[in-house]
């Protein structure tokens, strides 16, 4: 009997991935089916449904699911879910698909058949529908009115751009996943299925596991957050995104190398597990914090570390909006349908020269001039421009790995600093 938090949805891990003879038979059938290309985001969502990371989802969402999530954070059956997981197709492609027909889902970059899908519903996503999703899912306290939001979102918010660039028809229905793409080989030893992480945690005798979400290299604040979590939980799962990011973000392989160096030199290794997952970032801030907690529950984590500006981009979200949103979501009464992975809320953290160590706004009485404000965006900007980092910004072993990466780049990407990276008006 496992002492870990149960998977989300009350149905155990719902894995849609076929293997062995079942996979070969389905793949043979798929070659004769109509092919629909998937976007990188949809590819990652497919893999997560395949490995049980998106339990209890077993397919792409219906119109009722989409509307319920946008309005109330609930699937049509009443299960909590924070962000739509949908598949889009062109009107031309969708027009030739009959209700109940099976199709093959193709990765257009590799021509690999990723899955088969039985189409149970088709619905149009108008520009008004897409804008509705963006305002419900991506608009935060940083842009409190729709007018302010759309002045900058269409150009500056990559998640909004993903939604607005979706094709005009959405296809819903169950999937049978045939591939985990490049992840098991490219990130061997890091990429994990939920069943893998759960087995590791159970082997260690853990019951309370905190997850740290990473898309930037680990700096001193990340390290401090992890160490706080280690003190109050059995262990920490450093779970980094190995899917697609936006231009200027650090590639997954470099981040993994940085984490390895940090864990080896500054942690009791037995208290930390590192893993990777195959999603693209949506940059949905508070809603994405909820998604991170939801699928971390499937990986066996009962706590989700939430610091400032979690999964944010630019100044779209309030500094701690990703924490307060957990207090506003519905709690379904039916067992298993509520979110059970709870937030570990930690204030803004930094290095303070007067405190002579890492601290937070809750523990440090000193002024901004005494602090080294830490952010992944600032770290990337300084290194990309060849600048010197302030003392105590990052561990030497990590900074060296990142310097080598930036020195090897032939093309530079401009990295913008926003309020969340510079400290805003924090005192």
Distance between CA 105 and CA 279 in Å, rounded? 17
- CA contacts within 13 A on the Cβ side of 327: 8
Exposed, middle or buried by CB within 10 Å (0-12, 13-18, 19+), for 156? middle
Strand partners, 212: 238
Question: The tokens 């390895």 sit on which residue?
Answer: 260
Distance between CA 85 and CA 37 in Å, rounded? 16
Distance between CA 375 and CA 246 in Å, rounded? 17
- Residue 287 annotated among the catalytic residues of the structure: no
Max CA separation in the chain (angstroms): 68
CA angle 326, 285, 155 (to 5 degrees): 155
Catalytic: which of 215, 220, 303, 395?
A: 215
Would you state the structure tokens that stand for residue 213, as one six-digit string?
């979400």
Strand partners, 236: 210, 272
Residue (of 250, 179, 194, 245) closest to 409 by Cα position: 250
- CA contacts within 13 A on the Cβ side of 282: 26
From the centroid of its chain, how far is CA 169? 25
What is residue 427's three-state secondary structure? coil
Neighbouring CB atoms inside 10 A of 146's CB total 13
Report whether the peptide linkage leading into residue 399 is cis, meaning its omega lies within 30 degrees of zero. no
Question: The tokens 């030739």 sit on which residue?
Answer: 96
- Residue pair 242/213 in contact (Cβ under 8 Å)? The answer is no
φ/ψ (deg, to 5) at 289: -60, -40
Residue (of 388, 387, 392, 355) closest to 372 by Cα position: 392
Output DSSP code: residue 345: E
Catalytic: which of 41, 193, 198, 216?
A: 216
Report the catalytic residues.
215-216
């Amino acid at each position: 009997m496992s002492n870990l938090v149960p998977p989300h949805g009350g149905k155990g891990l719902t894995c849609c991935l076929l293997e062995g003879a079942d996979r070969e038979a389905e793949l043979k059938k798929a070659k004769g089916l109509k092919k629909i290309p998937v976007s990188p985001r949809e590819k990652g969502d497919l893999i997560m449904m395949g490995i049980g990371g998106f339990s209890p989802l077993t397919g792409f969402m219906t119109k009722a699911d989409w509307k319920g999530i946008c309005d109330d954070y609930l699937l049509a059956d009443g299960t909590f879910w924070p962000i739509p997981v949908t598949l889009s197709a062109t009107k031309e492609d969708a027009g030739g698909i009959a209700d109940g027909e099976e199709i093959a889902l193709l990765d257009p970059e590799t021509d690999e058949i990723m899955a088969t899908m039985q189409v149970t519903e088709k619905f149009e996503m108008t520009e008004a529908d897409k804008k509705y999703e963006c305002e419900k899912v991506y608009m935060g306290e940083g842009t409190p009115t729709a007018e302010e939001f759309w002045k900058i979102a269409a150009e500056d918010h990559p998640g909004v751009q993903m939604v607005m660039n979706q094709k005009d028809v959405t296809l819903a229905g169950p999937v049978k996943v045939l591939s985990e793409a490049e992840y098991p080989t490219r990130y061997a030893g890091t990429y994990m299925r939920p069943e893998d992480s759960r087995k590791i945690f159970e082997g260690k005798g853990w019951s309370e596991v905190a997850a740290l979400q990473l898309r930037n290299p680990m700096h001193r604040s990340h390290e401090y957050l992890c160490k706080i979590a280690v003190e109050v939980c059995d262990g920490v799962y450093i779970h980094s995104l190995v899917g697609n990011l936006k231009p200027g973000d650090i590639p997954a392989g470099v981040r993994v190398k940085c984490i390895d160096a940090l864990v080896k030199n500054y942690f009791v290794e037995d208290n930390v597990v590192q893993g990777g997952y195959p999603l693209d970032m949506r940059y949905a801030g508070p809603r994405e914090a909820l998604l991170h907690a939801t699928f971390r529950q499937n990986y066996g984590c009962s706590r989700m570390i939430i610091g400032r500006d979690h999964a944010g981009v630019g100044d779209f979200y309030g500094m701690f909006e990703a924490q307060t949103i957990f207090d506003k979501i519905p709690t379904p009464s039916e067992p298993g349908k509520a979110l059970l992975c709870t937030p570990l809320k930690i204030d803004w953290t930094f290095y303070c020269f007067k405190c002579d160590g890492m601290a937070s706004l809750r523990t440090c009485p000193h002024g901004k001039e005494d602090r080294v404000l830490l952010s992944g965006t600032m770290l990337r900007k300084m290194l990309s421009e060849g600048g010197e980092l302030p003392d105590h910004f990052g561990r030497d072993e990590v900074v060296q790995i990142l310097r080598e990466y930036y020195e090897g780049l032939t093309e530079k990407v401009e990295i913008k600093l926003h309020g969340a990276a510079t400290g805003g008006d924090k005192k």
